Amino acid sequence: MNKDHVIIREKTIIKTSIVGIIANILLAGFKASVGLLANSIAIVLDAVNNLSDVLSSLVTIIGAKLANKAPDKKHPLGHGRIEYISSMIVAGIIFYAGLVALIESVKKIIHPQEPAYTTVTLSIIAVAVLVKIILSRYVTKQGKKVNSGALTASGKDAFFDAILSASVLACAIFYLLSNISLEAYMGVIISFVIIKAGVKMMGETLHDILGQRADSKMSQKIKQILQEEPEIRGVYDLMINNYGPNKNYASLHVELPDAMCVEEVDRLTRKIEEKVYHKTGVILTGVGVYSYNTKGGLAAEIRNHIQQIVLAHDWALQLHGFYADLQEKKLRFDVVLSFDIDKEKALQILLDEVKQAYPDYKIQITPDVDISD
């Protein structure tokens, strides 16, 4: 992502968050006034929830500003992951708001109070529902546009607020028709919905912080770009490290002919680094090399045989990086192992089987982790 895109992204996040702050402050003021006049715990809690949204938007703005700080000596890859922390804080605020709403709703079930709804009350709640739906769609759209987890979380929260307000409105209408108040019970139900949303957002953000398996589409795209080069027979061990939204660094191995010289390999790696960056935005920080035999058919025969031996096990997912030194009687290759088997146990099984088939050769097997598709 170039500097202009970073600036545009930050401005979009800040602008969207400010719109959310203004809308939620106005809604909170109206709802708090109406809730106190109508003696409605549901409306008051709805107002408190809007204030929590104001806090969420402030956290999002601060997170965006800090995430775009220039790299420094302590953080040479930038501060982009701060956005994930801000997303976690927003999720925590949502969870807390749901918990508070649950406690207050239960209190009202134990100690009920009769609400006093008016036409003005119902009208304000109806307008609040409409405003929240519009705000939710706007914030979510902007969040997806700039790949901001915090904005997307805020958009979801706004949608739940709309549901909350609509439920309050439905309870108010039901009370006017039947003189039965259900708002405290509805508050309990909605509280659980909000709490569940907060927990889900925390889980999604935690995956980003811990590091997830590389996106399958991105992995396949990078491999496709590299395999357009005639010298590259295979692409393996692709690892993509994320340092914030749209800040991805990757390393991988390519399989090249054993006849290529260092100058040719250097020229090729510089070329593919540039291609991958311009087409995906991913920066290749390391390109390792596997060599494959280009002379004689015996090496190919051995490779095919060993591949059959290895892939006969369902926990051996792939064999690559194979090279046979026929003069020195050495065989080396990598095997991608499933997470379902102990690595040491798997290596010993493969080593025994290959050694039995080729007792005169020195065998070197390197285990690889199933990190990308």
User: Domain containing 317 — which CATH number?
Assistant: 3.30.70.1350
Domain containing 117 — which CATH number?
1.20.1510.10
What is the rounded end-to-end Cα distance, in angstroms, of the chain?
A: 24
Residues 293, 179: one domain? no
DSSP code for 344:
H
Q: How does DSSP classify residue 363?
A: E
Position 1 scores a pLDDT of: 53
What is the chain's length? Answer: 373
For the chain, helix (H) and strand (E) counts, in that order, are: 10, 6
Shared domain check, 101 and 62: yes
The token pair at 237 is: 């061990």
Q: What is the count of structural domains for the chain?
A: 2
Domain range for 226: 216-369
Among 210, 231, 260, where does a domain finish?
A: 210
Its pTM stands at 0.63
Nearest to 364 by CA among 351, 348, 345, 349: 351
Strands 362-369 vs 330-337: parallel, antiparallel or unpaired:
parallel
CB atoms within 10 A of CB 328: 9
Please, how many CA atoms are within 13 Å of residue 228, restricted to the half-sphere of its CB? 10
The three-class DSSP label of residue 213 is coil
Residues 159 and 276 in one domain: no
In whole angstroms, give the CA distance from residue 36 to residue 39. Answer: 5
Closest CA to 254 of 228, 279, 281: 228
> 32 with 88, same domain?
yes
Residues 183 and 264 in one domain: no
- pLDDT attached to residue 355: 95
Q: Looking at 165, 180, 210, which one is the last position of a domain? A: 210
> How high is the pLDDT of residue 41?
67
Q: Enumerate residues 6+ apart whose C-beta is below 8 A from 108.
A: 41, 183, 184, 187
Q: Judge if 49 and 182 occupy the same domain.
A: yes
3-state helix, strand, coil split of the chain in percent (to 5) is 65, 15, 20
Does one domain contain both 195 and 229? no
Same domain, 100 and 164: yes
Last residue of a domain, one of 210, 237, 271: 210
Same domain for 224 and 160 = no
Residue 163 and residue 34 share a domain: yes
Say whether both 238 and 175 belong to one domain: no
Residue ranges of the chain whose pLDDT lies below 50:
none
Q: Are residues 246 and 198 in the same domain?
A: no
